Amino acid sequence: MMTFSSFNPACYIPSAVNKYLPSAVACPPPPSFFYTIYNTIISPINSTYGTVRAMLEAFVGLPFLSVIMLLTNGGWSTTINIFFFYITWSTLVLAHPPLRVELIGSLAIRLVFYVIPSLLFLTFDTLLPSTAEGFKAYGAEALPFANASSRRKTMRQLRILGWSLANILLATLLQLTIEVLLTQVLLVRSAVRVTTSLPAPISILKNLAQGYIIREILTYTIHRFALHERSHGKNIAAQCHQQWYHNVVKVPFPLSESYDHPLPYLLLRFLPTYLPAFLLRFHLLTYLIFLAVISLEETFANSGYCSSSALPMNFFFLGGIARHTNLHAVHSGHGNYGSVGLVDWIMGTAIGCQGSADAEAEGCHGETE
């Protein structure tokens, strides 16, 4: 449909007359074939870039501290922050289809809070191995490229990184498939709510707590009973998990969290993250915050750092979560099945790092099997 702003009466004047008109009002020539091809290719990219930029501006535009302050005193500055965030969020949701906002937002969160920080850790480990070794829980063993002395080992590490990134894209594709199946095939509501209205801060915190508990229970159950105990030799997922992850990753390193065969990766990483949002039908903002928290947890838990000298690891139990993850890999999957160790502690399957400082040091710097 032609809009009023794009209507030009000069285009309806015969070309013999049109060529004498000033260039400011003359009908422009039709676009060339190559320009049409270029515009067809670039237009989706520009649209996607605009969506990602607006999503990140909206997401970062809401300081988490302001949410907490709003719960306590609700000052004018906090109210103004919330108001401007609401305007940005509403513009974003109204300007793009809900499915695009959900998918691009989810992928952008994974890139910003997991992929990019993990690549920075990996770059630091590769360029400054002697410095990084002092912060690593298992020293040089946790430096994948420093140990890749041969071309074959280097190619294996690059293959691991490639599969790690491919699994993230695969999870996004599965999320797209689920949403299309729900909204366009079954004609029911979407798994995640994408609306201009914002959830209350107390509702966000409540859903985050519920989602984190459900995720921990699902991760423990799937990891222990489907991929480890009573599973070896009985199902394909357990065999793939053993061959792909535990036979390769002896000590966690950046991006190793998302490295696995696609089947166990989707079962162990995607399902416990997406299913709580589906069951509780998170608002998209809540889901993005939930995904950001999980992405940061996975980044630091698999960074290989759990030393007290590594400053970020002293924040909010990250060091304990990292040791929990390290020991699961070091002991070839015999224990520490959950994400943070809560269910392991309840079920009696926690190993290492609990108790005295000596035990903690042993678990953090022990020998790999």
Residue with tokens 């459900």: 214
What is the reported pLDDT for 113?
92
Q: Which of 148-162, 239-253, 263-277 has the lowest mean pLDDT?
A: 148-162
Cα 196 versus chain centre, distance: 23
Tokens matching residue 134: 């002092």
pLDDT digits (tens, 9 = 90+) for 237-249: 999 999 999 999 8
What is the reported pLDDT for 212?
96
Please, are residues 182 and 190 in contact by the beta-carbon 8 Å criterion?
yes
C-alpha closest to that of 143 among 124, 119, 117? 124
What is the reported pLDDT for 153?
76
pLDDT digits (tens, 9 = 90+) for 89-103: 888 888 888 998 899
CA dihedral of residues 288, 289, 293, 299 (deg, nearest 10): 40
Is the model's pTM score more than 0.85? Answer: no
Helix crossing, 64-72 with 201-221: angle to 10°? Answer: 120
**Which amino acid is residue 177, in one-letter code?**
T
Strand positions, DSSP E, the chain: none
What is the reported pLDDT for 207?
95
Q: Is the dihedral of CA 111, 108, 113, 258 positive or negative?
A: negative
